[in-house]
């Protein structure tokens, strides 16, 4: 069995997923949220108040029994 891992994000519908690399968690204002919901802007047009960029990472197993 392969020990290589992949980090993915799964959306609440339980079916939509993507690798985590390039994904973002954004805080946006109410006006941008309304525009996004009404399809007046797309997600790549948002100007976030703050943003956390996500990237692939390696999981290293700890061999200590402590």
What is the tally of structural domains in the chain?
A: 1
Is residue 3 domain-resident?
A: no
**pTM of this structure:** 0.70
Quote the pLDDT of residue 3: 78
- The strand pairing partners of 24, in sequence order, are 53
Quote the pLDDT of residue 52: 94
Is residue 66 domain-resident?
A: no
Is residue 1 domain-resident?
A: no
Tens digits of pLDDT across the chain (66 residues) = 667 888 899 999 999 999 999 999 999 999 999 999 999 999 999 999 999 999 887 666 666 655
Is residue 61 domain-resident?
A: no
Is residue 25 domain-resident?
A: yes
Range of the domain at 20: 8-53
Is residue 28 domain-resident?
A: yes
Is residue 33 domain-resident?
A: yes
Is residue 43 domain-resident?
A: yes
């Amino acid at each position: 069995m392969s020990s290589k891992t992949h980090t993915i994000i799964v959306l609440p519908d339980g079916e939509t997923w993507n690798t985590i690399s390039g994904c973002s968690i954004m805080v946006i204002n109410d006006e941008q949220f309304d525009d996004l919901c009404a399809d007046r802007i797309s997600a790549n047009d948002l100007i976030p108040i703050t943003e956390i960029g996500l990237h692939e990472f390696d999981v290293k197993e700890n061999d200590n029994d402590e």
